[in-house]
Amino acid sequence: MKTPEDSVVIMTEIVYPNDTNPMGILQGGKLMHWMDTASAICAQTHSENISVTASIDRVAFKKPIYLGDIVTIKAKITRAFETSMEIYIEVKARTVKKAENILTNTAYFTFVALSDNKKPTKVPALKPVSDIEIEEYKNALKRKTFSHI
């Protein structure tokens, strides 16, 4: 059975002038694009199928990320359901001159795996291993139930 570590994605980007607003702050849409890409790779690695974004929970922009900062986006699957998967995203940023990574964003993305005829298709089961993974696995069911009310 597949574990969350089997499909974890760590993506690193640097903020260039084209990614920012006139104050040199990373645009929210650009960051969302990176988060979507990292979580899509994670979902597709787990499901071994093309997977589409079905929903994104509330995304908070807790701290600004600036021009030249180095951004690390980590995507990890929390649970596989029938055809959908929940992916947890954590974004951290640091300046070139300071090694300290600051947590700037977190979010949960839901992806649905598609068959070759573009219909939702079954995904492999997930076996959480660590205490945090087991906790996330349990909470993912609550989030799925809540999001469909």
Ligand X SMILES: CC(C)(COP(=O)(O)OP(=O)(O)OC[C@H]1O[C@@H](n2cnc3c(N)ncnc32)[C@H](O)[C@@H]1OP(=O)(O)O)[C@@H](O)C(=O)NCCC(=O)NCCS
Give the residues lining the site for ligand X (CB under 6 A): 52-55, 81-84, 110, 112, 120, 147
Q: Select 8 or 114, whichever has its Cβ closest to ligand X.
A: 114
- DSSP annotation string for the chain: -B-GGGG-EEEEEE--GGGB-TTSBBPHHHHHHHHHHHHHHHHHHHHSS-EEEEEE------S--BTT-EEEEEEEEEEE-SSEEEEEEEEEEE-SS----EEEEEEEEEEEEB-TTSSB-----B---SHHHHHHHHHHHHHHHHHT-
Shortest distance, position 130 Cβ to ligand X, whole Å: 23
By beta-carbon proximity to ligand X, the closer residue of 20 and 83 is 83
Strands 51-56 and 84-94, bridge-based pairing: unpaired
Work out how close the CB of 144 gets to ligand X at its nearest, in angstroms, rounded to a whole number: 7
Taking the least distance from each CB to ligand X, the nearer of 72 and 121 is 121
Instruction: State the nearest-atom distance from the C-beta of 119 to ligand X, in Å.
Output: 7
Residue nearest to ligand X (CB): 81
Nearer to ligand X, 69 or 86 (CB): 86
Q: How far is the CB of 80 from ligand X (least distance, A)?
A: 8
